[in-house]
Structure 1
Amino acid sequence: VLFYNLDYYLDYPLDALKVWQGGMSFHGGLLGTTLAIILFARKYRLHLPAFADHVACVVPIGLFLGRLANFVNGELYGRISTVPWAMVFPDGGPWPRHPSQIYEAALEGVVLFGLLSFLFFKTRARRMPGVITGSFFLFYGIFRFIVEFTREPDAQLGVLSVGLTMGQLLSLPMMLFGGGLIVWARRRARP
């Protein structure tokens, strides 16, 4: 709503509530989830960085399932491609395309879950609250930025004037925030 079709939703604000019609972006959902985490932690007097680290560890499971649903629904497909595993999507015309939803399910779901689980269980990261959340932001941003090269740009936006898609543009501040959060958490944990 905020990032991909703001003008439409300013004209028809109640349509933003029609979640059954799609149109939900990860980046917008992330803002809402972040606000909910902050409010929940404040209400129950939880240490926000540590609580956010626990939440961040399981988010990739939802991302994995969401990207599989995108694949099954034939939405958010990739750009036209000649790779051997390219496939024709019902709404993508007669041309084979990258199954970018599968790439995202693998990177944002499986790989990110593995990385965050490793950090949580096999390193000292959980003793530095904020490192795992920062790693989520950093690596989600990197993975999304990369996969966007194979994903069909949003029809209403296309490729932006800077040569990036909206998904790539929104991933840049995520990477910066994630890297900054890691540095902050590590400095704060030093004796």
Structure 2
Amino acid sequence: MIALYINWDFDPEIINIYGFPLRYYGLLFVCGLLLCMHILKGIFRRENLKESAHEALFIYGIVGIFVGARLGHCLFYDFEYYSKNLLEIFLPIKINQIGEIKFIGYGGLASHGGTIGLVISLYLYSKKYEIKYLKILDLIAIVAPLGATFIRLANLMNSEMIGNPTTMPWAFIFRKVDNIPRHPAQLYEAIAYLIIFIIVFTVYKTKNIKLGNGFLFGLAITLIFTMRILIEFVKINQV
């Protein structure tokens, strides 16, 4: 039976150039962000919003997501370590006990922290560009699930956010963790986020439906939380 399982033993580094690693995590994060911004550009045109507002949204969005995701990881998952190594919160380095510095990239990002950071940055953005806050949340809600899809695929490449042990034939054996067949929880979430993106985007594009401000945001949040609750049953607790 074990022959049916998927042996997952990917190296999270694509290439290492003079001590600077290029990781799948960072590559997928950037690809997801760029694709979301490309789709948003078309949405801004459809909504007759200024192109300059779209360009500014890119800056507000990436800063809000990164700062929130990084702080979320450091505060909720590894506070004891980062409280003693403050420089490592926002610098892609690790300092050992003898003071040696090693470039490690940004591997610890929390999705819920990124969501909080994005919501705050979008509020500031809406005030700056005088666009209704709920309207901005609606536009972001269209593409956010797509971005989350890429993040969960990045988690898969890192063999993190794994699921509980299972005997299902599609179980993954994450060799960098242990030799136990497990639910690929991060892959479940990636597929679910992609489906949510398709649903929300389809509702947005459907003609002859008048949507009030905040509807798409509410729809996306409802679908996301429902999905997360269901998948929590097969995912190990994150510590």
Q: Which residue of 1 aligns with 2:27?
A: none
Question: Whole-Å Cα distance in 1 between the matches of residues 89 and 209 of structure 2?
Answer: 38
Bigger fraction of residues in helix: 1
Question: Whole-Å Cα distance in 2 between the matches of residues 63 and 111 of structure 1?
Answer: 11
Q: Does 1:99 align with 2:184?
A: yes
What's the Cα RMSD here? 2.0
Question: Whole-Å Cα distance in 2 between the matches of residues 124 and 39 of structure 1?
Answer: 32
Deviations 1:80-136 (A, max 9, x none): 11111001112221111111111000112x111022113212277763011111122
* TM-score, with length taken from structure 2: 0.59
Looking at both structures, which has the greater relative contact order when contacts are Cα pairs under 8 Å and sequence separation is at least 6?
Answer: 2
Q: Which residue of 1 aligns with 2:109?
A: 24
| Closer, same or farther: CA 86–101 of 1 in aligned 2, 3 Å | same
Q: Which residue of 2 aligns with 1:180?
A: none
| Closer, same or farther: CA 85–127 of 1 in aligned 2, 3 Å | same
Q: Does 1:147 align with 2:220?
A: no
Q: Which residue of 1 aligns with 2:144?
A: 59
* TM-score, with length taken from structure 1: 0.73
Question: Whole-Å Cα distance in 2 between the matches of residues 131 and 11 of structure 1?
Answer: 43
Q: Is the 8 A contact 1:77 1:151 kept in 2?
A: yes
Across the two proteins, how many residue pairs are aligned to each other? 154
1:36-185 equivalences under 5 Å are: 36-108=121-193, 110-122=194-206, 127-154=211-238, 156=239
What amino acid maps onto 1:91 in structure 2?
K
Q: Is the 8 A contact 1:120 1:126 kept in 2?
A: no
Q: Structure 2: give runs of 5+ residues left out of the alignment.
A: 1-73, 93-104
Q: Does 1:10 align with 2:83?
A: yes
